[in-house]
Amino acid sequence: MTTVVTSALPTSDALRARVRDALAAVGARVDLGEPNAGGVTASTPINGDVLFTVPESTVEQADEAIAQAAEAFTAWRLTPAPVRGALVARLGRLLVEHKADLATLVTIEAGKITSEALGEVQEMIDICDFAVGLSRQLYGRTIASERPGHRLMETWHPLGVVGVITAFNFPVAVWSWNTAIALVCGDTVVWKPSELTPLTAIACQALLERACADVGAPAGVSRLIQGGREVGERLVDDPRVALLSATGSVRMGREVGPRVAQRFGKVLLELGGNNAAIVTPAADLDLAVRGIVFSAAGTAGQRCTTLRRLIVHSSIADDVVSRIVSAYRQLPVGDPLADGTLVGPLIHETAYRDMVGALQQAGAEGGEVLGGERVDVGDEGAFYVTPAVVRMPGQSEVVHLETFAPILYVLTYDSLDEAIALNNAVPQGLSSAIFTLDLREAERFCSAEGSDCGIANVNIGTSGAEIGGAFGGEKETGGGRESGSDAWKAYMRRATNTVNYSADLPLAQGVHFG
């Protein structure tokens, strides 16, 4: 039924050699320990093996990293923004040079197919370009004053140390969204990557340190700490961390948000999504199916923007589902490093168990499950699956959960009101889409009575956003906005300045005093 591209997965020795080559190429100096040496394990979902271990930061080292970033901030904030931009420009060049090296590490650690891994590095290059331009455009406003001889204006100033916590599924791009913008804004960064992707983080840090050396910026503008919860908690609780930007689960955000707020720090949260696409009778179905298949099965369903719910008009539901199922049958599943593979592995066994559990629950709630089987790749420790389509009889509990796997629930509707209500009926609010050539339907979906998500697309899927827009979502997604547009404002503090250049002292609101 499904084509498996590779009959034999690469051996761990072959993968180790590729990791060593990529790390050497980017100039990373790191002690790669034996798989059982202790520390943070660097494993690969390609065959499920541990490849190396890397040193885990102690709590003291995490504190020291924050101290170094705080120290570097005192000078960095006074460096002119366009000069700060030159550092990010250099980083962007290095990323262009090492695009393939970094993409190889992303594929080995996160299991992304090569084309998507290259795309993720391209996203880093794009955000660097954006940030360099931004470094000359950190504009404040001049506001009309109600008093004669007065000028009212806004100035934007660097915020401080930005703590960045990232997830396994975009191990490099999400760091770069935060870091490129934070650096041009005059902030310094301490990064705690996912424990599942320590090697890509080491490579990114090495490239940034090279960029710092090349342009003469202090290396302390960016620090990397590796480890689990204890290390991450230092960023959450340390008052020197002015902004905590955290990407991960709703559970994590629920804990982190109030803790940072308790000390009056700022948070930027990118949490779960449960993204839907509406397909109306006015859709171009060929285009819709292509968009749906990429968004639902791409990255093996492990993007926060992955399409998880299809809301399709009942008159076309059978047709749309059969087109998706036949497209799914042709998706090559297997080694993400191999040419032609479109669906790589799930990140680990727990992800697979969660997928099995969700499909069982869907079945128990009346769903008809198509696909979603484990694919035998000849290695027990690796978890490859065919993407699943599940026709649901209506709303149910499982449909409201985000399961980080390629499961597409199909619901039907009869009126656009009903479809929009279904789109908005989940607790998460990241991405959404409508497929229609009807202008009225499209505009309603994007209007105030339409999708309640941070991203509402027309005639493209829910995933694969460009960096130029602000990225993020509402409700349990956390409300944060990263990357393009004016997302930079979260990384700076605003001062309102009233300047009196007259010889009088008129009070505002006509108040007389003395």
- Footprint on this chain of ligand UN1 (rule: CB under 6 A): 123, 169-170, 174, 247, 303-305, 463-465
Between 89 and 465, whose beta carbon lies closer to ligand UN1? 465
Between 423 and 463, whose beta carbon lies closer to ligand UN1? 463
- Long-range contacts, 60-65 (Cβ 8 Å, 24+): 61/225, 62/190, 62/192, 62/225, 62/227, 62/231, 62/234, 62/235, 63/234, 63/238, 65/190, 65/223, 65/224, 65/225
Which residue shows structure tokens 């109030």? 258
Position of minimal CB gap to ligand UN1: 465
Between 44 and 247, whose beta carbon lies closer to ligand UN1? 247
Between 159 and 174, whose beta carbon lies closer to ligand UN1? 174
Which residue shows structure tokens 């930007």? 245
Q: Helix %, strand %, coil % for the chain, to 5?
A: 40, 20, 40
Helix (H, G, I), strand (E, B), or coil: what is residue 273? coil
H helix or E strand, kind and range, residue 355: helix 349-364
> Residue 14 CB, nearest distance to ligand UN1 (Å)?
28
Name which of 175, 158, 160, 163 is nearest 237 in CA terms: 163
| Calpha distance 483→177 (Å, rounded) | 5
Segments in 431-488 forming alpha helices (H): 439-446
| Calpha distance 322→303 (Å, rounded) | 24
| Calpha distance 123→39 (Å, rounded) | 30
- The amino acid present at 473, given as its one-letter code, is G
| Calpha distance 426→399 (Å, rounded) | 8
> Residue 191 CB, nearest distance to ligand UN1 (Å)?
15
Q: Which two tokens stand for residue 6?
A: 């590779």
> Residue 247 CB, nearest distance to ligand UN1 (Å)?
6
Between 104 and 247, whose beta carbon lies closer to ligand UN1? 247
> Residue 467 CB, nearest distance to ligand UN1 (Å)?
7
Between 158 and 193, whose beta carbon lies closer to ligand UN1? 193
> Residue 465 CB, nearest distance to ligand UN1 (Å)?
3
State the catalytic residue, choosing from 120, 123, 209, 270. Answer: 270
> Residue 176 CB, nearest distance to ligand UN1 (Å)?
11
> Residue 178 CB, nearest distance to ligand UN1 (Å)?
12
H helix or E strand, kind and range, residue 203: helix 198-215
Segments in 263-316 forming alpha helices (H): 285-297
Between 304 and 355, whose beta carbon lies closer to ligand UN1? 304
Between 26 and 470, whose beta carbon lies closer to ligand UN1? 470
| 270 classed as catalytic | yes
- The amino acid present at 171, given as its one-letter code, is P
> Residue 120 CB, nearest distance to ligand UN1 (Å)?
8
- The amino acid present at 260, given as its one-letter code, is V
| φ and ψ at residue 54, rounded to 5 degrees | -125, 155
Cα–Cα distances in Å, from 511 out to 39, 146, 170, 410, 507?
65, 13, 55, 63, 6
Query: Which residues are known to be catalytic?
Result: 270
